Amino acid sequence: MGRYLKCPKCKSTNVEEVSEKKKVSITKGLIGGALLGPLGAAAGALNGKKKHSFHCNDCGYLFEEKV
Q: Is residue 38 part of a domain?
A: yes
* DSSP-based three-state secondary structure for 66: strand
Q: Is residue 3 part of a domain?
A: no
Exposed/middle/buried for 50, CB within 10 Å: 0-12, 13-18, 19+? exposed
Q: Which domain holds residue 47?
A: 15-66
Q: Is residue 8 part of a domain?
A: no
pLDDT digits over 23-33, tens only?
555 665 667 66
Q: Tell me, what's the pLDDT at 45?
A: 56
Q: Is residue 19 part of a domain?
A: yes
**pTM confidence score:** 0.55
Render 35-62 in DSSP notation, one character per residue: HH-HHHHHHHHHS--EEEEEEETTT--E
Task: Cite the beta strand spans of 1-67 per DSSP E.
Answer: 15-22, 50-56, 62-66
Q: Domain count of the chain?
A: 1
Q: Is residue 26 part of a domain?
A: yes
- Relative to beta strand 50-56, strand 62-66 is antiparallel
